Each structure stands twice: as structure tokens, then as C-alpha cells.
Amino acid sequence: MSAMDLFSVRDKVVVITGASSGLGAAFARGFAEAGADVVLGARRADRLAKTAATVEAAGRAALPVATDVTDPAQCTALAEAAMQRFGRVDVLINNAGAAAAVPATRETPEHFRGLVDLNLNGSFWMAQACARVMRPGSAIVNIASILGVTTAGLPQAAYSASKAGVIGLTRDLALQWTGRKGIRVNAIAPGFFQTEMTDEYPEEYLRSQAPRLIAGRMGDPDELTATAIWLSSAAGGFVTGQTVVVDGGISIT
């Protein structure tokens, strides 16, 4: 096998949560273009059809399943749907999540708990559901954030805490599952990527953060997909329990 062959995800079955828009939709398209079949989970079932169409346009099979990852039963149902359709789950891209900026003194218990429930608890329930059916050689990639390791000029206590939790969760699941079950577990901590989310940021905020982007630009979602493909493929076969920061340099400034 050549070095380039190690990066292949052809014919793998990849479950992607939060796949209705943004980075989730980009992951789905990128994995399909790399030759994988894709199981798509998100709460907005109507928007999953658009993502499914991009997967099918790349010549691969798509299975959209309406899923709220805060509900463990729905996470199990997503994994079971993948098994029924494809007979296996090779990769989980644990992407479902949300961000919010609220001053800490104004944060309500309901809002804080809701964000942690989605970003952290949802990542665990989905990983648990997939790990129950995954075979040795499978991979889980949790999508954390640079807000789990640094700050970015906004009051985001709930979001930062939830994403730091995802990084800790990644280490522990890797410890539990890599040796015993043969499932590698890693995380990616993205910085600013050009998506619908960053389109909503005030222009003055983006300008304030620009000096920290030593790469001189925001990231392209395809660059993040390439990192996820590496961690999901045999090329990343000796990598587990790690958080790969992909942020154009923000975390070192």
C-alpha cells in the first residue's frame, strides 16, 4: 500500500451529525467525493434532503435520518438505521452542536444546560451508540473548538465549557475503546471557517480577531474535511486520544 492509499476512505460508511448545514454539510460532501457512503443526522430533516443530494451527486449513497443527539434513543436509532442499510459503521463525525455568546452574569440555567446537553452530552450519546456497533479499525472524530483551548473575544462560557468537555471526553473514550475495541477516538478543534455561522458574526468582531489569524485568512471547510479524512483513514491509524487544532494560528497568539 502506498502512502497515498493510506488516506483512502473509499467504500467506508460514515455517520455525520449536524449534517443539515455548515461544516456538517461540507463533511458529507467531502467524504462522498472521497468515495464514502454517508449517513446523515440532524434535527432539521427538511434540510437533510439538500445534503443528501450533494452526496448522491458525488455518486455515493446517502441515508438521511432526523436525529436530535440530545436524546440517547434517537442516537441509537441513527446507528441502527446505518446498520440496517449498510451493515456497518466505520466512521463517526460527531459534529452536531451550536454556539452562543452570552455574558456570564446573564446566562440562564436553561441556556447553559441546553448548550452543554447538545455539544457535550450529545457527542457522548452518539459516540456510545456508534461504538456499540463499530468493528475494530473504526474511528470517531469529535468536533471540538479552539474555544476549548483558548478564547476568542466573546463571552462564551457555556460553549467554551462544552467544547473543553468534548476534548476531555475524547481522551477518555480513546483510553477505553482503542485498546479494547479497536476504535480510535480523536477530536478536531476548528478556528474560524467560512460557513453560515461566521457569516452571522458582526463585521467589527471579525476585524478584531483578524490580527490573531497568522495564516491571514479564515479557513476553507474543505481543509477541515481533509483533516477529518486523515483521522478517519489508515493514515491516522496510530493517532488516538488527540485533539488536532486547525485554526490558522489563533491558539498560539
| Distant-in-sequence, close-in-space partners of 29: CB < 8 Å, separation ≥ 6 | 51, 54, 55, 58, 225
Give the C-alpha separation, 53 to 21, whole Å. 13
- Annotation says 159 is catalytic: yes
Question: What digits encode the pLDDT tens for the residues 27-39?
Answer: 999 999 999 999 9
Mean pLDDT of the chain: 94
Q: How many domains is the chain built from? A: 1
Look at 200 and 93; give whichever has higher pLDDT: 93
pLDDT value of residue 226: 97
pLDDT value of residue 45: 87
pLDDT value of residue 199: 67
Can you give the CATH number for the domain in which 215 is found? Answer: 3.40.50.720
Catalytic: which of 86, 112, 124, 159?
159
What percentage of residues in the chain have a pLDDT greater than 70?
98
pLDDT value of residue 121: 98
Question: What digits encode the pLDDT tens for the residues 191-247?
Answer: 988 777 666 677 788 788 888 889 998 899 999 999 999 999 999 999 999 999 999
Domain span holding position 215: 5-252
